[in-house]
Each structure stands twice: as C-alpha cells, then as structure tokens.
C-alpha cells in the first residue's frame, strides 16, 4: 500500500472516529460487546421494519479503529435487508481473517480504509468487535420477532 493511500485511509478513520454519524445514547441494558485486549466496548441497536434495517446505531468507547469501524458498520447496514446485512458482515469478517482479498472492501466505500488492519492481527479484534456484535444483535432481534 502506498503512503499516499495510507494517509487517505488514516484520514477516513480519523473522521469517523471524531465525527461519527451513527453514534447515539443507547440503553445501558443492551448487550455490551468487549475486546479486552484493547479495552474497546460497544453497544449496538438495530431498528427493523419488517425485513429492512431502518437504522443501526452504536455507542461505546475504545480506540479509533474500533469506533470508526462501528460507525462505518452502521452506515453500511442501514437501509439493507437483514439477509444482505448477514452477508456483508460475514464477508467483512472473512476479509479481516485473511480468508478473502482485502480488495473486496472497495465496494463498501469508506470501509476500504480498514484494508491495512487485516495485516495486523492485534488490531483485527478492534475492527471486528462491532461486526461480531452486530451479528449477535441481529440474531437476537430476529429471535424476539419470531417468538
Ligand atoms: Zn482497539
């Protein structure tokens, strides 16, 4: 990765960290997802309208990668169907585990800024925290819808 790209990606991450679009004050009783190796904590809330994700929001605290990743997750998944969301989450987790090419991130706009993180195992946990959490939150909301 060239330095120029690296700088651009750093700037994108910094912007999502400092000016999150999808951060909200969430009910403290919602499940808290944690990455103890870095001290990142995140809560997520999804509002479903039938099968469509009307809104994903997060709150929490942690490093810039974990928080920027949570904001980008909410941005990407808002407006998607539940099926699309599961697909995108799985694809992102596979990319971060090195099972898929990082070039696949290009189609998700700002998310490409996390491409470099896939090479840094310690930071992968920061980047994937919200995504593992979102998967769980979606599963829980489907369970409550069905029963
Ligand atoms: Zn972190």
Per-residue pLDDT reduced to its tens digit, 92-145: 999 999 999 999 999 999 999 999 999 898 999 999 999 999 999 999 999 988
pLDDT of residue 6: 84
d(CA 95, CA 97): 5
Q: Ligand 1 center to residue 37 CA distance, Å?
A: 8
Q: Ligand 1 center to residue 113 CA distance, Å?
A: 15
Residue 58: give the domain boundaries. Answer: 3-146
Q: Ligand 1 center to residue 144 CA distance, Å?
A: 31
Q: Ligand 1 center to residue 29 CA distance, Å?
A: 22
Whether the predicted pLDDT of 1 surpasses 70: no
If phi over 0 gives left and psi between -120 and 50 gives alpha, with beta otherwise, what is residue 33? beta
Q: Ligand 1 center to residue 74 CA distance, Å?
A: 18
Instruction: Determine how β-strand 40-49 pairs with β-strand 33-35.
Output: antiparallel
* Number of domains present in the structure of the chain: 1
Q: Ligand 1 center to residue 17 CA distance, Å?
A: 12
Categorize the per-residue pLDDT at 147 as very low, low, confident or very high, splitting at 50, 70 and 90: low
Q: Ligand 1 center to residue 67 CA distance, Å?
A: 8
Q: Which two tokens stand for residue 46?
A: 């999804």
Whether the predicted pLDDT of 51 surpasses 90: yes
Q: What is the pLDDT of residues 66-106, one digit of tens each?
A: 999 999 999 999 999 999 999 999 999 999 999 999 999 99
Helical segments of the chain, H only: 3-18, 64-77, 82-96, 121-146
Q: What is the pLDDT of residues 52-67, one digit of tens each?
A: 999 999 999 999 999 9
Does residue 125 contact residue 93 with C-beta atoms inside 8 Å? no
Q: Ligand 1 center to residue 45 CA distance, Å?
A: 20
d(CA 33, CA 81): 23
Q: Which two tokens stand for residue 88?
A: 């995108």
| CATH number of domain containing 136 | 3.90.1010.10
Instruction: Determine how β-strand 52-61 pairs with β-strand 40-49.
Output: antiparallel
What is the arithmetic mean of pLDDT over 2-31? 91
User: How many separate helices (H) and strands (E) can be counted in the chain?
Assistant: 4, 3
Q: Ligand 1 center to residue 103 CA distance, Å?
A: 23
Whether the predicted pLDDT of 14 surpasses 70: yes
Q: Ligand 1 center to residue 104 CA distance, Å?
A: 23
**% of the chain at pLDDT higher than 90:** 88
């Amino acid at each position: 990765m060239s330095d120029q790209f690296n700088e651009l990606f750093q700037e994108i991450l910094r912007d999502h960290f400092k000016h999150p679009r999808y951060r909200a004050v969430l009910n403290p009783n919602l499940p808290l997802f944690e990455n103890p190796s870095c001290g990142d904590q995140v809560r997520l809330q999804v509002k479903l309208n039938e099968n469509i994700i009307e809104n994903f929001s997060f709150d929490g605290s942690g490093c810039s990668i974990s928080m920027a990743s949570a904001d980008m997750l909410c941005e990407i998944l808002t407006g998607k169907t539940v099926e699309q969301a599961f697909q995108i989450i799985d694809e992102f987790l596979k990319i971060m585990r090195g099972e898929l090419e990082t070039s696949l991130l290009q189609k998700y706009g700002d998310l490409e800024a996390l491409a470099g993180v896939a090479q840094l195992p310690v930071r992968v946990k920061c980047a994937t925290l919200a995504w593992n959490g979102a998967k769980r939150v979606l599963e829980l909301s489907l369970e409550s819808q069905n029963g």
